[in-house]
Each structure stands twice: as C-alpha cells, then as structure tokens.
Structure 1
C-alpha cells in the first residue's frame, strides 16, 4: 500500500504509490494517539523532503520556492507548515501505524472513548468487545489516575501517551463512578480490538436499516454481508433501505466509492481535482444495483463527514435516495499519504478537492438534506475532533427508540410512501 523506498529524488514515480484515495477520516478513537508530532523536532533532511512534497502535491499553490535550491530555516518552515489546511500534518511512526490500523478496522487499546467535560477526563463510550467493557468500566466514569499517576492536571494527549507508552502489560485505571462518587480501580490490558464499520436491523414491511459507522478497508464487505442478512431474513429482496450515516466521520475514498457503486446503475460518483495531474479523476458507477431499484433514505447530521458525504451526495445527486437530517459537516478534501525517508514516517497532505456528481464542492458547506429535521441529541462527536483526524473508535450507533428518533421515523414514513 505504501511506497517505502520513495524519496524526493523519485517524486514523480512515487506519486503513483501514494494512498491518493485516503480521503481522510476523522475517526474518534480516543486514547490511541496524541496530536501531530511537533515539527520543531524534524531534521533538515526531513524538512527538505516535506517542503518538496508540499511544493509538488499540495492542493493549493503556496508559491513555494523549490526546496532543492532554496534552504529554509526552521522558523520559515514552521511558518509555512502553519499555512497548510488543518487536515495536513506530519505523522510520526506511532501515528502512521495507528492510521493503518484505523483503515483496516482495528486498533490496539483499552476500548474507551474519552472527552474533557468540565475539566475532567470522562469516559463517554466503551467498545462492546473491548477489555475495558469486560473489566466493567462504564460510560460516564471519570478517570482519576493512570498507573497510580493522578491525571487531574494532564491533557487528553498526555494521558493517551502514558497509556500507549506504558511498560506494564496491564494498565491500572482508577475512576470515579458518578452514581456513587466512589473510586474504583481496574487493571486493563491493551489488546487488539476489531471494529465493526456497519451494523443493521430489519424494520417492518420488508425494509431494512443499515448503519455505516466508518469507511474502512472492510466496509464494502461488511455492508454486503449486512444487506444479504436482511434479505435472507425476509427471504426476498428488500423493499426499501435506510442508510444511517449520522456521526460517521468518514474514511477511505475507495471505500466510499465502492459502497456508492453498490446502489447505483450508472452515473458519476465523485470527481477529484488538484494541481498534480494524477489528482484529477472522475469515478463512475458500474451497472448493478444490489437493491434492484428499491427506494433508499439516507440519514445525515452535522458530524457526517468526508467519505460519508461522498456516499450521501452520490445517492442524492443521482436521484437514488432521499436525504433526511441536518446539514452535514462539509469536509470536501482528499488527503494522500506520502512516505518520508525509509517509510517509517509520512506526510498526510491535502492533494485534491472533491466535487459531487452535480459539480459542487461541499468543503466548508456540507450537504443540504432534502428533508431537514433537526436532531442534535444523538451526536457525541465534535468538529474539532473531525478536523484533527485522530485515530479513534468510531461510535457504534445503537438503535434509538423510534419514538425519540424523529429522523428515523421520517425515513420510515418516506419509504412507506414509495
């Protein structure tokens, strides 16, 4: 997947080996990786290589001087680096490994998602098949200490680093349980956790509900299996389908295109445009609709981003689905992963903008639903996390009560009318 031998001296041949289609996600797996490494620690050779790649491949022309002939000081480089969009950053060895794990649908960790709430590091979600879940850790627990070190004055990134770099096979977490205010200690082992990117359930009248939580390398297969399972339940083709993309922060471009193609007989899926010739591509649907024309309703909200927006726009603009919900996030850029040095580190760089089948850029704007229904109480994500694109456990959306989930109620109503 990655050209480990590529250097600035092989720049043009290297581009073909880039993960050009890493439309980067915004997965929200907490406690897995800290933020982008400090560029202040980079060596001059690394700086030269990064400068060359920015000059050659970055989506916007920053009018850079050629780094092969002009020597940049560290201060000049840092100023230039700060001009890049928030999705572009240098990835150290740990962050690069985490990114690959992410795209393959797994990561090594405890299985907890945390946020800073009122200056307290609070667990907001626990993965169902994780060591944290098995140990008895609950959402809303407040972390007090990690390996007997009080975390009161530490940031989320600092706590994540202590867990990741711990020399102990088990991590000791002391939490305060809000229901009793008591302190409880757990010994939890960091293990490999496999994540489901899609889940489903059958609705009434021969229709199905498909929730796509992220777009990883496994999503196409998982979506196909979920649809087959629902069709087997009815012993017939589905009469309609709700595709829930709410709180889906995105994923790989290939995955979004492949899933879109499942439901389209023809038409444009997405177009990418950039400065480098290979960044300009148009992707078309091939014949074959897994639902055989049965109606589709897509649910989106303010945290539907990136690859999720590609799928929603492809189905909407090709008149294949009705989109219900809130205005989506508006991440309309594509990031490529450019290996640096011997391939242990990389530059995640925005190399293209993508455009919907109707020719629109949704960057900073988002997708406008056909039927707007404001419902903000389902989301735990936030835009800062999406922009930072941290490795994360995608939130597994649990089916919400039909009475409380107004958007799902509307989707079912629309399907029943077709």
Structure 2
C-alpha cells in the first residue's frame, strides 16, 4: 500500500482532519488510569522503525528530549529503550491490533466483553458494564473483582495483563471468575466477545422542563448524539429546556475535536481551549461561534476524580466562560494532547504527546484537575445507578434495589442549583 492510499484509509476510518505535510492525524486526548507500560512489541522493532520513531519524538514531542545525535543512526536497542521510557504515560507505540482498537473506540465501537476496569487496592475491579454488552447479558456487575480469566489467576495482576489475557485469547467465549460482595463463593461467567456499539450520550427528563445529559465519552459521534438528545427533550416539553445537568462523571475523555464541538453548542462566544507545543501547528486556539443551543438556560456540570481530558475541557470551557456551575470532586487532571502519527505503511502508529492544553483562563490542569464551584465528594456511581436514581423507579432486581438506596448528592445539588427542589 503506498503512502497516499494509506493516508486516505486513515482519513476514512477516523474522520479526523489529516495534515498531509506532517502526516499527523488530528489531535487526540485519551486517558489511562495506569502508568505507561513498555510495549513488548517495541522490543521487536527493526532499525528503520526505530529511526522513524526517533525522528517523530525529536520533531513533535511536547518536551525537547535530548537525542544523542541528529541522524539517529547509532541508537542501539538499549539506548532507544532508555529514551522511550522518558516519554509521558500517554505516549506509546501502537501495533496493528492496538491501532485498530483505537480507531474502533474513537468511532464509538469496539469488540470485547463490555466492561470498564480499574486497579483498586491491587485488584482489577469492574467499575462499569456497558448496557448493551455481552457482560451485561451474562450478569456481570459493577463492583465485581476479576480473580481469573480462562482459569488463569489475575490476583495481583495489572489492568494491562488482564486485558491481554482477554484480547489474546483465541476463544470467542471468555471465562471470567469474579469475587462479589455478599457472595461467599466466587462466581463464574462465560462471556462471548462481540462488536459493541458504544452509546456516548444518554439523557433523561427532569422536572419543570429541565433535562439531564450524561456524556460517557467523546467519540466522533458525540456532537450528533448530544444535539439529538437535547432536541428530543425539547420536543417532549414543547419548549426550549429551562435548565440542563451535564454529567461528566467517570468520563475518561476522547477526541479534542469532539470536546470543542460540544462546548461550542452551549457558548455564544469566548475561548474554548488553547493548545501549546514545540512545533508550529501544535499551537492553536479554539473559539466558540455564535449560537447557544439552550438559549442561555442555566447549566450545571457534574465531575469527579475520573473525569478526564476531553471531559475536563468541556467542564473548564463552560466554567471559565461563566456558562455553568461545576459540582462534584476534583477531576483527574489530564492536560496533554496526543497526536496519532502513522508509521511505515500505516498499519502501526506512534501515539505521541505533542501539546498541552490550557483552559480559557490560561490555566494548565495537568496533574491538578478542575476545581468544582461546589465540592461534594461521594462514591462513584455506575451508569445504571444514575438511571435508577434519576427515574426514581421501583426496584425490580437486586441490582436496582441496591442502586435505589444510593443518594446521588451531586445530582441533588445540581437540581437545587437549577431550582428543581
């Protein structure tokens, strides 16, 4: 495949704006809740691939890492590994499988079980189960601790190791053994892998003509989904919404373009975000265009410690432009921007931090996060918990019975600020 056709393929698959002069795909903002892991595939790279990666690090990486020479010809594997280890946790060589997975996630789909996991107290814990997923159908629940995958123990394992056990398996059905609170014995589930379409946006109608919008991630489809959900709520009421809660809790981020576009929906003017890096095209400012989809109706944004990157851009854009009140706990603090750089024939890539982003008031949130206007700490709520609380439904199962007993203090405060209580 020649370079031109490779670029065309990338543009089609991602929907990003392609910079033909630099062969950089448009800026990505992704979050990882674990430290950067030295990719095993890096050890198998050929000298030509290493030279290409070194050139891109030298040219585009946000920090000026000193290279031992400018021709990059005398680097051995040990020297290259030392330089690679100096990159931040979000920069990584992506092999063909990892690259395709990233494309799928950015386009709102992926092949898997439908679980989100996080390392909690040395255990790989399921923090969310996608609603239309095989895991949901099998009965897996948020809060379950994975103790084995296909009879291989995962105790004291990393999230990356567990993910590798699942993705590397040649079996279509994955055997999960989990530990669940209030269950004396481990539970076994056979979960089939399949392609899942991710819903990045859900909504519910609140009282007195207001709405609730949960944005779970920022994909290429998020802007369209947000507009559709708001239109549906307004059509139900027959009038523009009188207020809106935007729930960004546990939102790990997504693409910069999506975050900017969603922010622009609610702003009449002002700066949304700026980015700064070492090469010229990494230095950009994004401004709101005239037109507010809510026509000035009040907004409250909910964040927590797992709200990151693109979610933090939206929260800061609305907060700094005095468009919304932010309620919750300090956000994650991921303030760097990644570019996806094709390598070789385009089947692999380098995900490289090329810029840092700054809020409309010029603040970097890297390692700090967004400080809410109203600080309320509470236990993380899964999407199913949120739905039960908002709808105030009668509990119909053990899971919903548990969720219905949870008081969402942050949402209650948001409704109070919108004068719904």
1:294 aligned residue (288, 297, 302): 297
State the Cα deviation string for residues 272-316 of structure 1 (Å, max 9, x = none): 111111111111111111001111111122221111111111111
2:24 aligned residue (4, 18, 34): 18
Contact 1:305 1:328 survives alignment (8 Å)? yes
Contact 2:270 2:287 survives alignment (8 Å)? yes
Contact 1:175 1:184 survives alignment (8 Å)? yes
TM superposition shift of 1:183: 5.2
SS across alignment from 1:215: coil
Distance 2:372 2:156 in 1: 42
Are positions 1:96 and 2:94 aligned together? no
Higher relative contact order (CA 8 A, sep 6+): 1
Contact 2:33 2:118 survives alignment (8 Å)? no
Label 1:332 to 1:157 Cα distance change in 2 as closer, same or farther (>3 A): closer
Distance 2:99 2:411 in 1: 37
Unaligned segments of structure 2, at least 5 residues: 8-17, 391-405
TM superposition shift of 1:41: 2.6
Alignment match, 2:386 = 398
Label 1:354 to 1:228 Cα distance change in 2 as closer, same or farther (>3 A): same
State the Cα deviation string for residues 83-133 of structure 1 (Å, max 9, x = none): 111111111112111111111111111123344556555544332211122
Alignment match, 1:132 = 135
TM superposition shift of 1:46: 1.3
Q: Where do 1:217-228 residues align within 5 Å?
A: 217-228=220-231
SS across alignment from 1:20: strand
Alignment match, 1:328 = 331
Alignment match, 1:31 = none
Distance 1:120 1:93 in 2: 29
Alignment match, 2:46 = 43
Are positions 1:413 and 2:413 aligned together? no
SS across alignment from 1:258: helix
1:79 aligned residue (74, 79, 82): 82
RMSD: 2.8
Contact 2:122 2:157 survives alignment (8 Å)? no
Distance 2:322 2:143 in 1: 42
Contact 1:249 1:306 survives alignment (8 Å)? yes
Alignment match, 1:113 = 116
TM superposition shift of 1:400: 6.4
Could you state the TM-score of these two structures normalised by the residue count of structure 2? 0.84
Alignment match, 1:374 = 376
Q: Where do 1:133-282 residues align within 5 Å?
A: 133-143=136-146, 145-152=148-155, 155-175=158-178, 178-182=181-185, 184-282=187-285
Larger mean CA deviation between 291-300 and 360-369 belongs to 360-369
TM superposition shift of 1:261: 0.6
Label 1:357 to 1:143 Cα distance change in 2 as closer, same or farther (>3 A): closer
Distance 1:331 1:178 in 2: 32
TM superposition shift of 1:218: 0.9
Distance 2:172 2:72 in 1: 49
How many pairs does the alignment contain? 391
TM superposition shift of 1:338: 0.6
Unaligned segments of structure 1, at least 5 residues: 7-11, 29-33, 381-394
Is the helix fraction higher in 1 or 2? Answer: 2
